[in-house]
Structure 1
Amino acid sequence: MLATRKRRKGPGQEGLITASPFLLPSLIGLLVFSLLPLIISAFISLTDWNGLDQLTAPGFFQEHFIGLENYKAILSSSEFWGVLWNTFRYIIMYIPLMLMASLGVAYLLSRQRRGVTAFRIIYYIPVLTSWVAASMIWKSMLSPEYGAVNNILAIFGIQGPGWLLDEAWAMPAIVLVSVWKDMGFFGLILLSGMVGINKAYYEAASLDGAGSWQKFWKITLPLMTPAIFYVLIVSLINAFQLFPQIMIMTDGGPNGATQVMVERIYKYGFRYYRMGYAAAFSWILFAIIMVCTAIQMKGQERWVNYDS
Structure 2
Amino acid sequence: MVNGTQTQTNSLPGLKENWQASKKRKHSQYIWYVFLAPTLLGILFFMVYPIFESLRLSFYNSNGTIETFTGLNNFKRVLSSGNFWNAVWNTFYIGIFQIAITVPLGFIFASLINTVRRGQNFLKVIYFLPNVTSIVAASMIFAFVLHPEMGIMNFVLAKLGLPTSTWLSDPSTAKWAVILLSIWHWIGFVIIICLANLQSISSEMYEAAKIDGASGIQQWLFITIPNMAGTFAFLLITGWIGALQRFNEIYVLGGPNGSPARSIQTMGAFIYERGFTGFEFGIASAATYIMFIIILVFTFINLKVSKMKI
TM bracket (short chain): 0.7 to 0.9
Counterparts of 1:192 and 1:140, CA distance in 2: 34
Secondary structure, aligned partner of 2:61: coil
Q: 1:108 deviation in Å? A: 2.3
Q: CA RMSD in A?
A: 2.1
Distance 1:202 1:167 in 2: 48
The aligned counterpart of 1:186 is 190
TM-score, normalization by structure 2 = 0.85
| CA deviation after TM superposition for structure 1 residue 274, in Å | 0.8
Gaps of 5+ in 2: 1-28
| Contact 1:153-1:159 at 8 Å conserved across structures | yes
Match of 1:263 in 2: 269
| C-alpha separation in 2, matches of 1:132 and 1:78 | 28
8 Å CA contact 1:105, 1:184 repeated in 2: no
In structure 1, C-alpha distance between the alignment counterparts of 2:285 and 2:30, rounded to whole Å: 36
Counterpart in the other structure of 1:245: 249
Taking the aligned partners of 1:20 and 1:206, their CA distance within structure 2 comes to 59
Matches for 1:205-284 after TM superposition, within 5 Å: 205-251=209-255, 252-284=258-290
2-side partners of 1:158 and 1:19: how far apart? 69
Is the aligned partner of 1:37 residue 2:43?
A: no
Which residue does 2:144 correspond to in 1?
140
Q: Which residue of 2 aligns with 1:161?
A: 165
The Cα of 1:24 is off from its aligned counterpart by 5.1
Q: Return the letter of the residue paired with 1:157.
A: G
Letter in 1 for 2:62: W
The Cα shift of 1:28 comes to 4.7
Q: Is the 8 A contact 1:109 1:119 kept in 2?
A: yes
Could you say which structure has the larger radius of gyration?
Answer: 2
Q: Which amino acid aligns with 1:105?
A: F
Per-residue displacement from partner, 1:147-188 (whole Å, max 9, x unpaired)? 111111112110122111111110011001110011001210
Q: Distance in 2 between matches of 1:192 and 1:260?
A: 32
Q: Percent identity over the alignment?
A: 37
Could you tell me how far apart the structure 2 residues matched to 1:21 and 1:292 are? Answer: 39
In structure 2, distance between residues paired with 1:161 and 1:268: 31
Listed as ranges, the gaps of 5+ residues in structure 1 are 1-17, 54-59
In the alignment, the residues of structure 2 paired with residue 277 and residue 122 of structure 1 have an alpha-carbon distance, to the nearest angstrom, of: 43
Shift in Å, 1:30: 3.7
- The CA deviation at 1:29 is 4.3
Q: What is the distance in 2 between the residues matched to 1:163 and 1:66?
A: 42
Residue identity in the other structure for 2:185:
K
**Residues 23-77 of structure 1: per-residue CA shift (max 9 Å, x gap):** 95455544333222211110011111112x1xxxxxx7xx521111100001112
Aligned-pair CA distance for 1:209 = 1.1
Q: What's the secondary structure of 1:48's corresponding residue? A: strand
Give 1:87 deviation, angstroms. Answer: 1.1
Relative distance call for 1:201 and 1:139 in structure 2 (3 A) is: same
TM alignment of 1:68-87, pairs within 5 A = 68-87=72-91
Preserved CA contact (<8 Å) 1:101 1:179: no
CA distance in 2: counterparts of 1:20 and 1:167, whole angstroms: 58
Aligned to 1:119: 123
Output the CA distance in 2 between the equivalents of 1:37 and 1:180: 33
Q: Deviations over 1:87-121 (max 9, x none)?
A: 11111211111112211231122112111111111
